[in-house]
Amino acid sequence: MRYQKPKGTADILPEESLIWQFIEKTAQEVFSTYRFSEIRTPIFEQYELFQRSSGETSDIVSKEMYDFVDKGDRKMALRPEGTAGVVRAYVENKLFAPEYVKPYKVWYKGPMFRYERPQSGRQRQFHQIGVEAFGSNSPELDADVIAMAINFLAKFEITNYKLAINSLGDKQTREAYHQALVDYLTPFEDSLSDDSKRRLHENPLRILDSKDPDDQKIVAGAPSILDYLTDDSKEHFDRVIKSLDDLNINYEIDSNMVRGLDYYNHTIFEVMVSDPAFGNKETTVIAGGRYNGLVEELGGPETPGFGFGMGIERLILLINQQIKEEIADDGLDVFVTTIGQSASEKSLVILNQLRQAGLKADRDYLDKKVKGQFKMADNLQAKFVVTIGEDELVNQQVQLKNMATGEQMHVSFDELVSKVLELKRG
């Protein structure tokens, strides 16, 4: 019996985990400059939470959910996205910040699960980094958070993106537009895909998002939601656009863009990149928007919200080789070679001291000959090699070799750490 990883999952091997660590560190750094703090919520939640927030007819809930009944007969689901859990935590922990620190801003990272057909940039277990800001309805906040997404991508030299934005308006907008859309689509009903025929009755807005080429032709002539914005919604959207202009951020207004999740209103956006990694097809890396009403929907007080989610696997596909090489591990500081059992024992004590000083240090554990130990030091790109033999033990010192200069010296056991630190500083 040979075991294989589940379909649609990936092992992130040590070499690759460097880029993951770099991305997570960059997120932490960039987001904290915008006053976002990290929140960590469970990987599974009550099924109903997702059903409620994403919407029963969303693809996520109707087709992609990893749901299960636990041993206590509770219906649970692995989280398909991050916002629902964060909103649940916000309500449950009463994180309703006092007025003077609103909006309450958090970010998260971690695995998400969707039962999808795996392909490049589409997995069943994938990872997102996302942000949520609670408690402000300001259009400037929308623009600020969008700018943060763009500035984050810039840290990876991803500047060839397309930022698509749209407004879904408020409830009144949606109702008026819903009717106009149904009136427009109904004469085409027979030509729509089966999925869209169903959507026409359940949630016609979703038809705008159809990937079916024939649906897309029909949708191209559909009325624009922007013509149905109420005065308030229009003002909100105009102010978002004004702020993006002020920040010199290029965008394209795409009035046919809707999001797959039911909770959005007002501003929605996607950052798309076309890259050979995606067969030069435009692919969404970051997506988000405003979700006023969701906190209430999940049992909290009326609280506006704005956030986005970013797919890490897709981001990694876009990061160029040069950056990946720059963050590559730069090797060991010190390799300790030994001759004889006593030296081998002493080396453990010395290694312990080196590591406590923050130096990366290691040795051989396979009883290699001296030549083999030096070869290992070389392979691990050790900057310094320490040698301990019988003479060194007697004299309480080591031989220290600077591998960059070839320079060798004797250093006492007691002074080794400070000497290495000094030489490393250069």
Q: How many residues bind ligand ATP (CB under 6 A)?
A: 16
Nearer to ligand ATP, 128 or 166 (CB): 128
The span from the first CA to the last CA of the chain, in angstroms, equals 54
- In the list 53, 173, 284, 397, the residue contacting ligand ATP (rule: CB under 6 A) is 284
User: Could you say whether residue 164 binds ligand ATP (CB under 6 A)?
Assistant: no
State which residue, 116 or 212, has the beta carbon closest to ligand ATP.
116
Give the Cα separation of 303 and 115 in Å (integer).
Answer: 31
Q: Which stretch binds ligand ATP (CB under 6 A): 239-247, 305-313, 339-347, 358-366?
A: 305-313
270, 291 in Cβ contact below 8 A?
no
**With binding defined as CB under 6 A, does residue 123 bind ligand ATP?**
yes
Residue nearest to ligand ATP (CB): 311
84 class by beta-carbon count within 10 Å (0-12 exposed, 13-18 middle, 19+ buried): buried
Closest-CA residue to 167 (of 239, 97, 95, 116): 239
Report if residue 289 touches ligand ATP, rule: CB under 6 A: no
> Is residue 116 a contact point for ligand ATP (CB under 6 A)?
yes
Q: Which is nearer to ligand ATP, 80 or 300 (CB)?
A: 80
Judge contact between 89 and 107, C-beta under 8 A: no
Pairing status of strand 384-388 against strand 397-402: antiparallel
Determine, following the binding rule CB under 6 A, whether residue 126 of this chain makes contact with ligand ATP: yes
Considering only residues 91, 285, 294, 343, which one is a binding residue for ligand ATP as defined by CB under 6 A? 285
Task: Check residue 262 for interaction with ligand ATP (CB under 6 A).
Answer: no
| Coarse DSSP helix, strand, coil percentages of the chain, rounded to the nearest 5 percent | 45, 20, 35
| Residues 331 and 380: beta-carbon distance below 8 Å | yes
Strands (E), 186-325: 252-253, 265-274, 282-290, 305-311
Apex 25 CA angle, 137 and 279, nearest 5: 85
Site for ligand ATP in 78-97 (CB under 6 A): 81
Indicate whether 260 belongs to the interface with ligand ATP (CB under 6 A): yes
Which of 13-21, 308-316, 396-404, 406-414 is the region at the interface with ligand ATP (rule: CB under 6 A)? 308-316
Q: What's the sign of the alpha-carbon dihedral 74, 78, 80, 85? A: positive
- Which of positions 127-146 make contact with ligand ATP (CB under 6 A)? 128
Nearer to ligand ATP, 50 or 104 (CB): 50
Alpha carbons 83 and 366: distance in angstroms, whole number = 49
Among the listed ranges 12-20, 311-319, 328-336, 349-357, the one in contact with ligand ATP (CB under 6 A) is: 311-319
* Contact positions vs ligand ATP (CB under 6 A): 81, 114, 116, 121-123, 126, 128, 260, 284-285, 287, 309, 311, 313-314
